[in-house]
Structure 1
Amino acid sequence: MSNGQAFPDLEGSEVTQGTVPQQPANPLRDPADRRLPRIAGPSGLVIFGVTGDLSRKKLMPAIYDLANRGLLPPGFSLVGFARREWEDEDFAKEVHDAVKEHARTPFREEVWQQLAKGMRFVQGTFDDDAAFDTLRQTIEDLDKAQGTSGNFAFYLSVPPKFFPNVVQQLKKHGLADPPKGSWRRAVIEKPFGHNLESAQELNKVVHEVFPRDEVFRIDHYLGKETVQNILALRFANSMFEPIWNRSYVDHVQITMAEDIGIGGRAGYYDGIGSARDVIQNHLLQLMALTAIEEPASFHPKALVAEKLKVLSAVQLPKDLGLHTVRGQYASGWQGGEEVLGYLDEDGIDPNSKTDTFAAIKLEINNRRWAGVPFYLRTGKRLGRRVTEIAVVFQRAPYLPFDSYATEELGQNALVIRVQPDEGVTVRFGSKVPGTSMEVRDVTMDFAYGESFTESSPEAYERLILDVLLGDANLFPRHQEVELSWEILDPIEKYWDQHGKPAQYPAGTWGPAEADEMLARDGRSWRRP
């Protein structure tokens, strides 16, 4: 959180983060003591697209869980905006059912009753001026009834094509302009554009309405505990920093694998693909956090500055045909069931060239990482669901050992498991019990569930709370988004001009071409 200290804006001007210093002081929060709970001050949240799956499965349960943990103010207000012909009571029932089914914490009637007092619903479409007038009046009424002090965040849980409509309606009806001493914020879900040009245009539209520091771009991966632990692992432990560089690291693999297909998302997914859906945001963000230099502080501007240095230094392979791969899952067996191939899924064009698997090789052209390849891969219908960052170290010279003593020994590796089993694994060589000197790989494992008594909050809990607090640490800024598209756009352009995606059977780990990509470098993919 801001303590009033000014940081140079990344575009040249001096700014102080957000409008947090203008908020009424919260006596339960001492910003100087990070051990105390971070509790939001008077505030409310408006969700556009409140009837969608994201809202029902993630946003509503996260809001209840925050309230249940005592991290929301008693007068917190939740406003839903959608086309349904609902009354406030219908909306409250929808939230109630979603909470009962998906909340992480136990249901408590007294918490629910307190939260339900601040729930309202506004019926309308994104081009309905009358509906936005009603929304403005609803917010004004909640300020009086619930004491929200004019502080509202607008969550755009809608397809990207509607972002400009909603943002411009908020401006037109005075909803984006906060009363004196209050704040208004925009929360935008990915994908943020589909290429560099569209991202720049969208940034322009949003920034004409909301100040840059009041725009929160959601990448839910950055809210996961293990992702945040990358910074703790690197900068709170002196044992890793001396070897976290090109002198000791052989390569880095970042994998996000899913064992499911596209489900009912054909309308969204076809034409987007794995690279745009995952690599451009999740994986490039994970790469940046893995590779950054130590920031001067964890103030958002200091952290963003270091990530921008990494993304600016990314170097694409000279031959994109040899060092990038895209694929499509074909029919196969998964979980004991026969499943369809991508081109056979409902709603998919049988001539579609959309990738359901993507793997790319990148390098970071700076002093710490020059010559160290970063391999990024993602895909659907792969062997199992897993997301991990594997830092693979160079081989030891093994000078004192006979060749047979180390023949089963691989490379040391530090693996950060993001999901589903959050934790860290270290792989190293150890002597096999017995009279001879034989060395094999062993692992040491840290698991969040075993090491800490409290369960990890869901990513959306952390991110929604950060929005209400004005803490932008875990939200990509517009420069990061645009640099990420600069990296991916040439690859997408090359793929568009060169043939079709390679096929791979469902339930496997991707097309053979992905294995060949690493084999050319004398390496192989980890099997998570």
Structure 2
Amino acid sequence: MESGCWHVEKRAGLKSDSFRKDNENVPETGCLSIVVLGASGDLAKKKTFPALFNLFRQGFLQPDEVHIFGYARTKISDDELRNRIRGYLINDKNASPEQVEKLSKFLELIKYVSGSYDSEEGFRLLDKEISEHELSKNSVEGTSRRLFYLALPPSVYPSVCKMIRNFSMNKSDLGGWTRIVVEKPFGKDLESAEQLSTQIGELFEEPQIYRIDHYLGKELVQNLLVLRFANRFFLPLWNRDNIDNVQIVFREDFGTDGRGGYFDEYGIIRDIIQNHLLQVFCLVAMEKPVSLKPEYIRDEKVKVLQSVLPIKDEEVVLGQYEGYRDDPTVPDQSNTPTFATVVLRIHNERWEGVPFVLKAGKALNSRKAEIRVQFKDVPGDIFKCKKQGRNEFVIRLQPSEAMYMKLTVKQPGLEMSTAQSELDLSYGQRYQGVSIPEAYERLILDTIRGDQQHFVRRDELKAAWEIFTPLLHRIDDGKMKPLPYQPGSRGPAEADALLAKAGYVQTHGYIWIPPTL
């Protein structure tokens, strides 16, 4: 006879392929316990718990299947934790009675355990609470599924993982599993990342470790493989013969906003470029995998990273916005960049000679993240339209998710004159009424399903740090200085000069306007 939890799993689509490497031959029959460590912190309140609530609201987590445990040092009750996160889940003033009822049912699933992150006593108590939940669901010992989400600073990962391993993980291997989700930053350079990987790797097998980079959960990032490998007209164009340069851009129109102390420890390269933008870079540049199995996809990403040439100082522009050091948590002589443009070059047959420009900055004149693929000039330009700009394929990751192709067309009228326009797929217009899931929702669901495609493998992490560590050490040692730039600007003018030197041709007189509904 099937247990209630197994019946729920079939409804949610979380069946036998979800245990893949960690439990290959035994069907999952245990109930699911999700443990949010750092439950009282900002990340848990703003991202983790809202993602879990949305999964619950959409039916992927059922009351008879799952229980959620918060763990942190703060001494509060279950109800106090529920009240702290409530406002991040729905707006009570605008919520319908159905939404309020749904929220109440979700909050009933949350239990709080207080303890330190290196305390045997705290993690034994956590294990006791989880075990009582499993027994209440008639789950046989060893068949449970335990997901530990570390919404914590990386400095405590080793001690927390050790406590989980010794006192709180699944007791045997009868069909259940233990999985660990760790947030970036994964170290500060190659040495610290390898040390962290070794410490966690001594406690858990690689298939149990999920290194989360939320950019891999974004809808338009997830679309990249489909675009590249399911559309015939892209296949012959996606190479150095047709593409002149590629930009991957992240822009914010605000500064550090009270996070100056944290940000100054890392800087824009560690915070955004070495992880988020580099993951997008891999998906743009990789070869077609053998299949969609996660390991094949991650193999191709590693090959791209291993083909990147050392970064040249003359192909880097750093910036720091004026007023950054006014933050009392930032050192007066801080050398930390809040803006960086870095050119990466790939030494392989497909991309030799094509610059990939990764650009990120804070306190700029707009907020957006996008991929901009610029094609070479049309040979034999009989329409004399080169001055208007080149063909570009733009993928807007956020906000106003869209894909559009900039192309030259005839201007309507009696004259044979040309203009730049676009073929536009704007998600808000094309998919009206369709809710685009948050990245954390997708990635937590992937973790439950055991799908590691959108998570960072250890050798991939190592290859990424090998690219950026030499540059970061030169910055840390003061050998490279950020240039000042005005808040609300495009960043240092030298960055635009580097972009032009890399071959990018700016389109003049054309602005893409997202369609209105």
Q: Under a length normalisation based on structure 1, what TM-score does the superposition of the two structures give?
A: 0.87
Equivalent-residue separation in structure 1 for 2:420 and 2:324 (angstroms): 38
- SS of 1:243's equivalent in the other structure is coil
- Cα distance, 1:89–1:99 mapped onto 2, change above 3 Å: same
Q: Residue 516 of structure 1: which of 490, 497, 501 is its match?
A: 497
Aligned counterpart, 2:28: 24
Equivalent-residue separation in structure 2 for 1:375 and 1:104 (angstroms): 43
Aligned counterpart, 2:337: 355
1:312 offset after TM fit, Å? 0.8
Q: Residue 437 of structure 2: which of 445, 448, 457 is its match?
A: 457
Maintained 8 Å contact 2:38/2:150: yes
- Cα distance, 1:393–1:97 mapped onto 2, change above 3 Å: same
- SS of 1:315's equivalent in the other structure is coil
Maintained 8 Å contact 2:124/2:168: no
Work out whether 1:129 is the aligned partner of 2:120.
yes
Residues 320-369 of structure 1, C-alpha deviation per residue, up to 9 Å, x if partnerless?
23101111011xxxxxxxxxx11111311110001100110011111111
Aligned counterpart, 1:246: 240
Q: Under a length normalisation based on structure 2, what TM-score does the superposition of the two structures give?
A: 0.89
Aligned counterpart, 1:73: 62
Maintained 8 Å contact 1:316/1:361: no
Work out whether 1:369 is the aligned partner of 2:351.
yes
Maintained 8 Å contact 2:14/2:448: no
Aligned CA RMSD, in angstroms, stands at 2.4
Work out whether 1:489 is the aligned partner of 2:479.
no
Between 135-144 and 436-445, report the one with greater CA deviation.
436-445
- SS of 2:221's equivalent in the other structure is helix
Work out whether 1:95 is the aligned partner of 2:85.
yes
Maintained 8 Å contact 1:343/1:352: yes
Q: Name stretches of at least 5 consecutive residues in structure 1 with no aligned partner.
A: 6-14, 26-40, 331-340
1:176 offset after TM fit, Å? 5.9
Amino acid at match of 1:91: L
Q: Residue 479 of structure 1: which of 459, 475, 480 is its match?
A: 459
Q: Residue 324 of structure 2: which of 317, 332, 342 is its match?
A: 342
- SS of 1:241's equivalent in the other structure is coil
Maintained 8 Å contact 2:325/2:331: yes
Work out whether 1:62 is the aligned partner of 2:66.
no
Aligned counterpart, 1:380: 362
Maintained 8 Å contact 2:225/2:283: yes
1:506 offset after TM fit, Å? 0.4
Maintained 8 Å contact 1:310/1:364: yes
Maintained 8 Å contact 2:389/2:506: no
Equivalent-residue separation in structure 1 for 2:67 and 2:199 (angstroms): 27
Q: Percent same amino acid among aligned pairs?
A: 38
Q: Residue 329 of structure 1: which of 321, 329, 341 is its match?
A: 321
- SS of 2:357's equivalent in the other structure is strand
Count of aligned positions = 489
Equivalent-residue separation in structure 2 for 1:505 and 1:300 (angstroms): 43
Between 352-361 and 512-521, report the one with greater CA deviation.
512-521
Maintained 8 Å contact 2:248/2:356: yes
Equivalent-residue separation in structure 1 for 2:44 and 2:148 (angstroms): 13
Equivalent-residue separation in structure 2 for 1:18 and 1:359 (angstroms): 40
1:179 offset after TM fit, Å? 4.9
Work out whether 1:141 is the aligned partner of 2:132.
yes
Query: Within 5 Å, which residues of 2 pair with 1:160-175?
Result: 160-175=154-169
Equivalent-residue separation in structure 1 for 2:374 and 2:452 (angstroms): 31
Residues 131-163 of structure 1, C-alpha deviation per residue, up to 9 Å, x if partnerless?
111011011011112466521111111111111
- Cα distance, 1:20–1:53 mapped onto 2, change above 3 Å: farther
Equivalent-residue separation in structure 2 for 1:246 and 1:178 (angstroms): 52
Equivalent-residue separation in structure 2 for 1:482 and 1:249 (angstroms): 29
Residues 480-510 of structure 1, C-alpha deviation per residue, up to 9 Å, x if partnerless?
1111110001111233342421111000111
